[in-house]
Amino acid sequence: MRVCVFGGAGFIGSRVVSCLVRSGHEVVAMVRSQQRGAALAQMGVAVKYGDVGNPEDIRKALAGAQIVINATVPNYQGRLGLGRAQAIGKQHLEYTRNILDEAQRAGGLPVIVSEGTLLWGDSGEGWHDEASKLNPLGMGRAGQWSTPYIQKMIEEKNAPIIRLFPGMVYGAGSWFENGVYNLMQKGWFRTFGGGQNIVSVAYVDDVAEAYRLAVEKMPLREVFAIVDDQPVKFRDFANCAARAMGKPPVASMPAWLGSLMAGKAMAETLTMNCRARNTKAREKLGWQPRYVSYEQGIPVAVAEIEKARARRQAS
d(CA 117, CA 132): 9
d(CA 291, CA 286): 15
Alpha helix positions (H), 179-293: 182-186, 204-217, 234-245, 255-262, 264-271, 279-280
Tens-binned pLDDT, residue by residue, of the chain (315 aa): 999 999 999 999 999 999 999 999 999 999 988 888 899 999 999 999 999 999 999 999 999 999 999 999 776 677 889 999 999 999 999 999 999 999 999 999 999 999 999 999 999 999 999 999 999 999 999 999 999 999 999 999 999 999 999 999 999 988 999 999 999 999 999 999 999 999 999 999 999 999 999 999 999 999 999 999 999 999 999 999 999 999 999 999 999 999 999 999 999 999 999 999 999 999 999 999 999 999 999 999 999 999 999 998 887
CATH number at residue 61: 3.40.50.720
Is the four-CA dihedral 307, 262, 256, 144 of positive or negative sign? negative
Which H helix or E strand runs over 273? none
- Domain extent, residue 40, equals 2-314
Q: Domain tally for the chain? A: 1
